[in-house]
């Protein structure tokens, strides 16, 4: 019998910690052919999703998939993300959370970019823009998208709150 990864358990635990403390949990996701998200919000084959209770409907964090419905620009979308593609989970308000190593995708041969990025690059980008955005920009009605560039990532390197746990 194959051992189940600890990753989905850690995701559920950090989601619960965020909600218990009144924070908005966000996940950074590597987008590949199996990922079901609105493609217009994907930047550099990655997307940041607000998975708070207020922003989602029917959220299920299973051992293999994270599934929910959410609104992007006022339109409802069914979101499906493989747990293996989750790069990080963190609280929007303070950046505390956990980054995960990039796992090889079972759909790597159909990955649109053809490359899998290291988690450190994503960690640097999570997420100055989210913390600086005014509260009036509702993440629950628009979806959250990280659109930082490599240049932005290098500028925020000294301020990142996430750490890779090995």
Mean pLDDT calculated for residue range 48-76: 96
Residue 20: inside a domain, yes or no?
Answer: yes
| pLDDT of 84 strictly over 50 | yes
Average pLDDT, the chain: 75
CA–CA distance, 14 with 118 (Å, rounded to integer): 22
Q: Is residue 65 part of a domain?
A: yes
Give the pTM: 0.65
> What length is written for the chain?
166
3 pLDDT above the threshold of 90: no
HEC assignment per residue over 115-158:
CCCCHHHHHHHCCHHHHHCCCCCCHHHHCCCCCCCHHHHHHCHH
Q: Which residues form the domain of 48?
A: 7-159
Examine residue 99 and state whether it is found in any structural domain, yes or no: yes
pLDDT tens sequence across 96-120: 999 998 766 555 444 444 333 333 3
Confidence at residue 130, expressed as pLDDT on a 0 to 100 scale: 40
| CATH code where residue 60 lies | 2.30.30.220
**pLDDT of residue 152 exceeding 70:** no
What is the number of structural domains in the chain?
Answer: 1
Q: Is residue 2 situated within a structural domain?
A: no
Looking at residue 2, its pLDDT comes to 84
């Amino acid at each position: 019998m194959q051992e189940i990864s600890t990753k989905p358990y850690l995701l559920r635990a950090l989601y619960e910690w965020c909600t218990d403390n009144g924070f908005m949990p966000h996940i950074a996701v590597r987008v590949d052919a199996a990922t079901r998200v609105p493609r217009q919000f994907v930047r550099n084959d990655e997307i940041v999703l607000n998975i708070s209770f207020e922003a989602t409907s029917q959220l299920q964090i299973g051992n293999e998939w994270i599934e929910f419905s959410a609104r992007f620009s006022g339109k409802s979308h069914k979101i499906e993300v493989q747990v293996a593609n989750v790069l990080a989970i963190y609280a929007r308000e303070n950046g505390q959370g956990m980054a995960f190593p990039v796992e090889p995708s079972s759909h790597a041969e159909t990955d649109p970019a053809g490359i899998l990025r290291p988690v450190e690059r994503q960690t640097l980008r999570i997420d100055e823009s989210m913390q600086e955005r005014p509260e009036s920009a509702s993440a629950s009605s628009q979806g959250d998208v990280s659109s930082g560039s490599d240049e932005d990532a290098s500028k925020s390197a000294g301020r990142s709150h996430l750490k890779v746990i090995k």
